[in-house]
Structure 1
């Protein structure tokens, strides 16, 4: 049986179900946001906007740690909007885009720190970043089909 991202959340977040639920909902929202950017479509625009603007505020984990998570959300947003431009650039731009797209994993690392403290975050941080499966090559091929590396 293969381990899912949700299984990893439970380990990384020390079994904190509220943190796991929040991370699962955030992952879904980010996938929908990415679909809007890449394909111009989303199954539930209003649901996505509602969760990002208001819904997350009612999640117990977010509410308890909003003073840390709000700035991380802002950085995630700023990084991803830049990545969406850099995706379509030359190889160097795509390498930068790849780094900026890791913002979700930075947020997961922050959640691990909130749940388990500094030593725990240092311990699981590399594993969190290793779970980022997309490669710069995949991004380059997706957005720059007619260009050479």
Structure 2
């Protein structure tokens, strides 16, 4: 999921540092996913920028530093859920894929929790509904089609 600047800014009530944090984390997540799935060709520049962001810019981000204890735990959980979802996708099976469909997008909890830190629980609930609808707009059937395409791309890359 790639988010528009104005949408993220709205969700974090114009907090530029929070918006920058979210854009970095989402971009890093997508590059990591592409590296693991091997379904997209990544330019060296994109990989280099991602690692620079992860190792240099993210730890220096004012919003992340201020809210590190809260956000880092959510980030750890999101990564764990993504790893679990990836394993479940590769195992296959109806139950595993149903679980993985939602579990793999746990990183959007960072958006909801950023909204919570900035605007409180009611705002976080509103943002959470919006971001979940946006994240799962492809629906389960679209997810399965994309998953099948990724599997074929991985198999082709392995040859």
Shorter-chain TM range is 0.7 to 0.9
Partner residue, 1:118: 121
Summarize the alignment of residues 74-93 of structure 1 with structure 2, pairs less than 5 Å apart: 74-88=76-90, 89-93=92-96
What TM-score does the superposition give when structure 1 sets the normalisation length?
0.83
Partner residue, 1:57: 59
- Please, which of 117, 134, 137 is the counterpart of residue 141 of structure 2? 137
- Relative to structure 1, the CA distance from residue 134 to residue 26 in structure 2 (aligned partners, 3 Å threshold; closer, same or farther) is farther
Consecutive unaligned residues of structure 2, counting only runs of 5 or more, are 152-159
When the two chains are superposed, the root-mean-square deviation of aligned CA atoms in Å is 2.2
Per-residue CA deviation, residues 38-79 of structure 1 (Å, 9 max, x unaligned), is: 117643545434433453111111111101011011001100
Q: Is the 8 A contact 1:94 1:136 kept in 2?
A: no
Q: With a CA cutoff of 8 Å and minimum separation of 6, indicate the structure with the bigger relative contact order.
A: 2
What TM-score does the superposition give when structure 2 sets the normalisation length?
0.78
Alignment partners' CA distance in 2, 1:58 and 1:109: 21
Q: Which of the pair is proportionally richer in helix?
A: 2
How many residue pairs match? The answer is 143
